[in-house]
Amino acid sequence: MKRLSSLFVMLLFISGCTTTPSEISKGQLVDCSSLSVNSTTAGTQLDCLDGSTGIVIEALRGPAIVNVWGSWCGPCQDEIPLFVDFYRKAKDKLVLLGVDVEEAQISDGRHFVETRGITWPNLYDPDGRTASSLGMGVPITYFVDAKGLTVYKKIGVITSVEELEELTQKYLGISI
């Protein structure tokens, strides 16, 4: 009986250390009308994931962080909770923009946004067209200054909120 109660306590402890879908905040599809762009810049036009008018990705003005992801990408799934936490603190200081690439269906990206707590605008690139213009893979994160220049490109997964904060300070001059 003592072993059984010890096992029960251990299982109770372990179950408290996991995140269940009910604990993940709901995301929402956000239109892209709030994004600041240079209207004279030519480039690749991407639609907004919510179905509204998108932007020419190369025309984005910052300060901004552009995170390129796919719902099918394991490392992307791992880093999204970090971006959710970061955005809660940073949303009044900069733009966060996602670019969903190479989804089998747009509904896959929309479902990912709605179930992962994502509350910032996301563009939709079903064919990976931007790969040639920006040299994208996933995950990859770009830091864009106020003039629209990419000042840093982080290839690979972001591993902590602190890393995002440090990169934001270093490359965009913004303390979070």
pLDDT of residue 111: 96
In a domain, 37, yes or no: yes
Distance in angstroms (rounded) separating the CA atoms of residues 92 and 3: 52
Angle between helix 161-172 and 74-90 (nearest 10): 60
Distance in angstroms (rounded) separating the CA atoms of residues 147 and 164: 21
Range of the domain at 39: 25-172
In a domain, 16, yes or no: no
In a domain, 103, yes or no: yes
In a domain, 13, yes or no: no
In a domain, 10, yes or no: no
Distance in angstroms (rounded) separating the CA atoms of residues 95 and 64: 4
Distance in angstroms (rounded) separating the CA atoms of residues 72 and 101: 10
In a domain, 147, yes or no: yes
Distance in angstroms (rounded) separating the CA atoms of residues 69 and 112: 10
Give how many domains the chain has, as a whole number.
Answer: 1
Bridge partners, residue 60, by sequence: 37
pLDDT of residue 45: 85
Which H/E stretch holds residue 53?
A: none
In angstroms, how far is CA 63 from the centroid of its own chain?
Answer: 15
Task: Give, in order, the Cα–Cα distances in Å from 15 to each of 5, 10, 11, 12, 20.
Answer: 15, 9, 6, 5, 9
pTM: 0.81
Q: pLDDT tens digits, residue range 13-62?
A: 333 333 433 355 677 888 777 787 877 677 788 999 998 888 888 888 89
Residue 162's pLDDT band (cuts 50, 70, 90): very high
Task: Give, in order, the Cα–Cα distances in Å from 57 to each of 8, 127, 167.
Answer: 53, 15, 21
Q: Read off the CATH number of the domain in which 103 is found.
A: 3.40.30.10
In a domain, 9, yes or no: no
